[in-house]
Chain A
Amino acid sequence: MTGQMVRVSPSRVAAVPDLRPRMPAPKRGWLIPGGDELFRSVYTGFQVGAPTSFAVCSAVSGDGKTTLSLGLALTFAQDLPDRRVVVVETDLWRPVLAQDFGLEPAPGLVDALLDRVPTHEILRPTSLDNLSLVVAGSAAGSAQRLLRSSRMPQVMDELRHMHDVVIVDTPATLAHSEVSLLARMVDDVVFVVRTGVTPAHDLASALGRLQGAKIRGIVVNDARSSVPNWVRRLVRL
């Protein structure tokens, strides 16, 4: 057989077990130059020390809640390797995490809320050992009811017990009233606005809806100006 080419059918290849030694996945770097430093500057703004949980909210969709949640979670996980971090996707209307990470949609948060699976089974590992994801889960008929159910605080408590940092990626505040409930289940709320997207009056309305929650502050996302620097200097903006 040595030195001889053997033509085999794909079905036969599939049947042969992969006996190659398991190699650890190569460590991935940041695709965004300086991305870790950017997110680090945000979280140092609210000084994470003890086990904590916080929700990332925004007035409307597309403001960058998931991006900020992931960025913060990654920076936490990389900077604090001894801490366990989890990102919980609670936007059951527009879930993206499973698709972004090439994961099966279930089991996820919905499955835990419906008591189909225990909470520890909905945790999805990532390339980072101390970072887990909780995706939205199976399509739910009545997402509002699930997020408002008594099971939701229980799941949150369980996640808090299992992790040091729980980051809740919420739906748009103005579109879904459940966000105010979610905000009260966590220690802090971080609000995201996207320049050129978030209407100023919507921001005020959304912050009004979150009254009762502890809003740590606002992260301005996608802050870019079309005005050239020389013009800014000229008119002293």
Chain B
Amino acid sequence: MIERVLEAFFRHALLIVLPIIVIPLVVAAALYSTPPQYEAQAGMWVEQATYLTHSDDVNRYLSPAVNQKNRLWELMQTRTFLFGVAGKTSMKDLTTAQNGFEQISAIFARDFDVTAGGEHLLVLRFRSEDRDTALQVVTTIVEMFKSRYAADRYGQAQVAITFYQSRLTEAEAQLVSARSDLAKYLTANPSVAASLTTSGLDAARVNPGFAEAQRQVDIAQRGADSARDSLERAKLDVSAGAESLDLGFRLTDPPQASTTPSRQLKKLLIYPIAAVVLAVVLSASLLMLFALSDHSVRSLADVGPDAVILGVLPHLRAVGVGRRQGPAITRRAVGFVAGAIVPLRSLRGGR
């Protein structure tokens, strides 16, 4: 097999080696032909709001930074958010363009990067040929993400408050109704009321009707208390969420842009390496393709172990005949001794 692979390699050496030379060269040329860019970046310190009573929007198994990174990536997929960011920067014109969303998406996919640099640190980067644009974009994303986060949290709390408010109203109505029923029962049964005030007897044990009315009052009271507690917690969330926004989203590194344009180190290193790897894979695939698709006889071993080899003729090359000698020319060159005609245009120097 190794002989076959070597044969295929040297037979198609140029074709196999070419990708390894050309692809990295093309990638390197493409990298150096793109203008250098300014990079703006901001660092945010994010905390999980542990004091909040509800935390349905976070994955407890991920770090706060990763949670927020995922949120930001989701937001970056939305037209509203992207247009909101673009509208506040020099990309404003794209928001009204026909395929503006696609263009803005492509720009952000290429030039924007958000990384979780640990448990809490969220780093936002944007690269642009224009320094101001890079700075504007990062600043706007930070502001919009922060306000969006606050708005979401506030909205959720408001929904919760409304819900628990209605629950409390309903529970209080039930309590009033149960108390009214109990009062009516006591009015209708004065002996029960009297026994409650005069003797120390447990009226509930001796009178099932009173016991049922009393139980309904207790249930309604518990429901009302529970709804009140939930409402209080929701209200606390709203105020805590609003007041702790600065703590949950601390801008540790305000947006800053590089003073000189540069080429991204990632592109300068990874792309050429990726190109080399791709080229090697391509060349190896080509080599294997050539080796495996060659079913012709290449050596005596391919003829068969039992075959009698009468002789081995090398590639016959006639002297004085052009360099390109096809089988017909070779055949005529062999027959030349007996009078075969070698085409005159192929003869050099005569013989």
Contact = CB atoms under 8 A, between A and B. Distances in A.
Interface string B288-305: 000000111111101110
A227 B291 CA distance: 13
Contacts of A222: 313-316
Contact of A227 (B6, B296, B342): B6
Interface stretch (B61-69, B98-106, B261-269, B317-325): B317-325
B314 A31 contact: no
Contacts of B56: none
B181 to A, nearest CB: 99
A96 B331 contact: yes
Contact of A31 (B307, B310, B333): B333
Contacts of A100: 328, 331-332, 335, 340-341
A199 B296 contact: yes
B88 to A, nearest CB: 64
Interface in B336-351: 336-342, 351
B256 interface: no
Contacts of A21: none
A78 B330 contact: no
Given A31-B321, A32-B317, A32-B318, A45 B310 contact: yes
Contacts of A200: 295-297, 302
A101 to B, nearest CB: 5
Contacts of B163: none
Given A46-B310, A67-B331, A217-B308, A29 B337 contact: yes
Given A193-B303, A198-B297, A226-B7, A41 B311 contact: yes
A68 interface: yes
A237 B318 contact: no
A79 to B, nearest CB: 12
A32 B308 contact: no
Contacts of A39: 313
B334 interface: yes
Contacts of B339: 25, 28, 101-102, 126-127
B327 interface: yes
Contact of A224 (B13, B314, B331, B337): B314
Contact of A218 (B7, B296, B308): B308
Contact of A101 (B330, B333, B338): B338
Contact of A201 (B2, B11, B295, B336): B295
Interface string A110-136: 000000000000000011100101000
Interface in A50-102: 62, 64, 66-68, 70-71, 73-74, 77-78, 96, 100-102
Contacts of A66: 331
Contact of A231 (B10, B308, B312, B327): B10
A66 B329 CA distance: 12
Interface string A1-43: 0000000000000000000000001001111110100110110
A203 interface: yes
Nearest to A102: B341
A128 B336 CA distance: 11
A150 interface: no
A96 B328 contact: yes
Contacts of B317: 32
Nearest to A68: B313
B309 interface: yes
B312 to A, nearest CB: 5
Nearest to A36: B337
A102 B309 CA distance: 34
A215 B351 CA distance: 38
B309 A223 contact: no
Contact of A195 (B298, B307, B316): B298
24 contacts: A31-B336, A31-B351, A32-B318, A38-B311, A45-B311, A67-B316, A67-B327, A67-B330, A70-B331, A70-B334, A77-B338, A127-B338, A127-B339, A131-B338, A203-B304, A218-B303, A219-B309, A222-B315, A222-B316, A223-B315, A225-B299, A226-B10, A227-B6, A237-B2
Interface of A: 25, 28-33, 35, 38-39, 41-42, 45-46, 62, 64, 66-68, 70-71, 73-74, 77-78, 96, 100-102, 126-128, 131, 133, 190, 193-201, 203-204, 216-228, 231, 235, 237
Given A29-B337, A35-B334, A70-B334, 11 more contacts: A30-B337, A31-B337, A102-B341, A127-B337, A196-B296, A203-B304, A217-B309, A218-B308, A220-B300, A223-B312, A231-B10
